[in-house]
């Protein structure tokens, strides 16, 4: 597979600029086109970390994210409704249009990543949720907790609390309760799906949108390597006892690579370039997670002209 990935390094999807599918909005990873009551979401091969879009792309990353999100939309549709209509291309989702809720609903079942760094530095409250003493990195929390973050249009997302969300007028108390219940229910289902494949869903984020009738649906992506962190279950306990890094499938190792190259998105730091060898490694890990969590082989589309393929597929689906 790494030879196939290497052959696609110069044929990735950096960005799109289609003119016939409505107004375009470019996010960190997805290019979204508003077309009446539908959205056309093109998942690119861009990768972001520390709220910065890296200059290099990752072959097949968009295909993995788009298809894995579609898989989990199907696996969780009975837990929470979602915006999915169809997937006409490996990189494309057609979805119901709705108004995004400007809050990320982050659910954490383990003390990892940002939560661990906060705890390590002495914090015992995260987004209003108390954390017990005596935990170590990657410890399982007594129960999954919701640690919401504001969804910034530019710059860094910021931790927030449910009382602050209510006070801002973004959501009512009842709406927060409903979305928290949906997020925790999705996390429980995602954890079940991961466990069946020998994985642990460590933490993840959910985004919601409001339909015209006022109802909420899950949008964006769900349980992908960009939005979630997974540990390998078979070695979790032994590595925890040794207090060493967990074997994981997530984007965290990209953040760690950047930190090793003196970048955490802080003012004055220089964004490093990813080497081709590391791009291949990142792609291989994304593909590994797809195959592990779905139980099916990843079928890469190796088109030398992916933008033309994507445009044709969208046009045929509308």
Reported as a pLDDT band with limits 50, 70 and 90, residue 154 is low
- For residue 43, tell me if it sits in a domain: yes
Of 195, 216, 249, the last residue of a domain is: 249
152/185 same-domain check? yes
pLDDT digits (tens, 9 = 90+) for 40-91: 999 999 999 988 999 999 999 999 999 999 999 999 999 999 999 999 999 9
* Domain termination site, one of 224, 249, 274: 249
pLDDT of residue 156: 60
DSSP strand pairing (149-150 vs 216-219): unpaired
CA distances from 6 to 2, 65, 277, 279, 281 (A): 6, 19, 9, 9, 10
Mean pLDDT on 189-210: 97
89 and 158, same domain (yes or no): no
Entry field: residues in the chain: 318
Taking the alpha carbons at both ends of the chain, their separation in whole angstroms is 33
**CB neighbours (10 Å) of residue 102?**
15
Q: How many domains does the chain have?
A: 2
Within a domain: 170:
yes
Average pLDDT in the chain: 95
* Listed residue (66, 21, 110) closest to 318, CA to CA: 21
Does 7 fall in a domain? yes
Query: Do 35 and 168 share a domain, yes or no?
Result: no
Tell me the whole-structure pTM to 2 decimals.
0.92
Residues 211-247: pLDDT tens digits? 999 999 999 999 998 899 999 999 999 999 999 999 9
Whether 191 is covered by a domain: the verdict is yes
146 plus 172 within the same structural domain: yes
The reply to whether 278 falls in a domain is no
Q: Are 123 and 243 found together in one domain?
A: yes
- Assess whether 140 and 84 both reside in one domain: no
pLDDT band at 302 (very low <50, low <70, confident <90, very high): very high
Q: What pLDDT is recorded for position 250?
A: 80
Residues 204, 305, single domain; the answer is no
Share of the chain above pLDDT 90, in %: 92
Which residues is 39 bridged to in the sheet?
Answer: 34, 95
116: containing domain: 100-249
Identify whether residues 238 and 311 lie together within a single domain: no
- What pLDDT was estimated at residue 98? 95
- pLDDT tens for each residue of 286-299: 999 899 999 999 99
Q: How far apart are CA 198 and CA 200, in angstroms?
A: 7
Q: What is the pLDDT of residue 253?
A: 85
Q: For residues 135 and 90, is the Cβ–Cβ distance under 8 A?
A: no
Residue 292 tokens read as 């592990």
Q: Is residue 27 part of a domain?
A: yes
Nearest CA to 271 out of 254, 283, 249, 284 is that of 254
For residue 143, give every residue at least 6 positions away whose Cβ sits within 8 Å of its Cβ, in sequence order, or none.
none
CATH number, residue 140: 3.30.470.20
**What mean pLDDT comes out for the span 199-212?**
96
Residues 107 and 211 in one domain: yes
CATH of the domain at 41: 3.30.200.20
Q: What is the pLDDT of residue 152?
A: 63
Same-domain status, 57 and 164: no
pLDDT for 125 equals 97
Tell me the three state secondary structure of residue 13: coil
If asked whether residues 114 and 207 sit together in one domain, one would say: yes
> What phi and psi values does residue 52 have, to the nearest 5 degrees?
-125, 135
Segment 244-270, tens digit of pLDDT: 999 988 888 898 999 999 999 999 999
Locate 255 and state its tokens: 């953040």
Q: Model confidence over 31-48: pLDDT tens digits?
A: 999 999 999 999 999 999
CA gap 94, 87 in Å, rounded: 6
Residue 32 maps to a domain: yes
| 195 and 220 share one domain | yes
Q: Which tokens hold the place of 117?
A: 């760094």
Task: Tell how far CA 72 is from the center of its chain.
Answer: 12
CA distance 257 to 240: 22
Do residues 49 and 251 lie in contact, with contact meaning Cβ atoms separated by under 8 Å? yes
């Amino acid at each position: 597979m790494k030879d196939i990935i290497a052959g696609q390094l110069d044929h990735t999807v950096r960005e799109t600029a289609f003119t016939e599918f409505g107004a375009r909005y470019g996010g960190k990873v997805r290019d979204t086109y508003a077309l009446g009551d539908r959205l056309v979401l093109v998942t690119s091969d861009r990768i972001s970390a520390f709220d910065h879009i890296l200059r290099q792309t990752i072959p097949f990353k968009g295909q993995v994210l788009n298809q894995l999100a579609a898989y989990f939309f199907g696996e969780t549709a009975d837990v929470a409704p979602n915006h999915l209509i169809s997937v006409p291309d490996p990189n494309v989702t057609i979805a119901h249009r709705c108004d995004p809720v400007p809050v990320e609903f982050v659910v954490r079942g383990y003390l990892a990543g940002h939560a661990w760094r906060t705890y390590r530095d002495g914090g015992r409250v995260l987004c209003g949720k108390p954390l017990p003493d005596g935990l170590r990195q990657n410890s399982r929390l007594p129960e999954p907790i919701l640690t919401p973050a504001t969804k910034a249009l530019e710059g860094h997302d910021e931790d927030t609390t449910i009382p602050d969300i209510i006070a801002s007028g973004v959501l009512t108390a009842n709406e927060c309760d409903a979305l928290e219940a949906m997020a925790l229910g999705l996390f429980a289902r995602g954890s079940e799906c991961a466990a069946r494949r020998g994985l642990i869903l460590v933490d993840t984020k959910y985004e919601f949108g409001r339909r015209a009738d006022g109802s909420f649906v899950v949008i964006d992506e769900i349980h992908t390597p960009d939005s979630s962190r997974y540990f390998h279950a078979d070695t979790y306990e032994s590595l925890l006892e040794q207090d060493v890094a967990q074997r994981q499938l997530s984007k965290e190792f990209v953040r760690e690579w950047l930190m090793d190259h003196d970048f955490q998105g802080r003012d004055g730091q220089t964004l490093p370039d990813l080497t081709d060898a590391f791009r291949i490694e990142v792609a291989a890990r994304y593909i590994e997670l797809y195959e592990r969590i779905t139980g099916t082989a990843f079928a890469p589309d190796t088109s030398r002209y992916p933008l033309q393929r994507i445009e044709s597929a969208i046009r045929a689906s509308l």
